[in-house]
Amino acid sequence: MTRGTLDEIGRDDCVELLRFGTLGRLAIDLDGVPAIVPVNYRLVEDAHLTWIALRTRPGNLLDRDRVPVAFEIDDVDHRTREGWSVLVRGLLLQVDPDAASFAELHDPDPWVPERDRWLVIEPFTITGRRLHVAPSDVPPAAIFFR
């Protein structure tokens, strides 16, 4: 049996992982039922503030203001059973559509057209974990295919 260990990822390293990603998952409560939706995003860092910027269609299920959400990115190597995840918990806020400088500087470049509503996640917390597996516990097939 494979035995892994979980290590906490510090906030600075979590922000670094967020900085280079483009796709994550947003968890939101829809009338008492949780939903998880993939979204394109961009990390926004301005002065001492950090936000997650994203876009959606006006009237879409994500077109909310001042609601708590969770946002997650991760990477997993299924062969070695190692990986990491970063979790951002915060408040989803609508951005003024006339904030042209914000749009020009922080466009998350959505993969789907007609995403004209700008949103940001204002984090309460940014945490992460990394799963490591001891070399002796790596499944034989993973060693063979490296």
Return d(Cα 75, Cα 44) in angstroms, integer: 21
Whether pLDDT at 134 is above 80? no
Establish if 140 belongs to a structural domain: no
Q: What is the pLDDT of residues 30-73, one digit of tens each?
A: 989 999 999 989 898 887 789 999 888 777 878 788 999 999 99
Q: What's the confidence (pLDDT) of residue 146?
A: 46
| Domain-embedded: residue 88 | yes
Q: Of the ranges 6-10, 76-80, 111-115, 138-142, which is most confident?
A: 6-10
Q: What is the pLDDT of residues 97-126, one digit of tens each?
A: 666 565 555 555 655 556 567 889 999 999
Predicted confidence at residue 143, as pLDDT, reads 47
Q: Does residue 144 belong to any structural domain of this protein?
A: no
Please check whether residue 20 lies inside any domain of the structure.
Answer: yes
Domain that includes residue 78, residue range: 9-128
3-class SS shares of the chain: helix, strand, coil, % to 5: 15, 50, 30
Is 2 a member of any domain? no
Kindly report the pTM of this predicted structure: 0.80
**Residue 14 above 80 pLDDT?**
yes
CB 83 within 8 A of CB 75: yes
**146, 21 contact by CB (below 8 A):** no
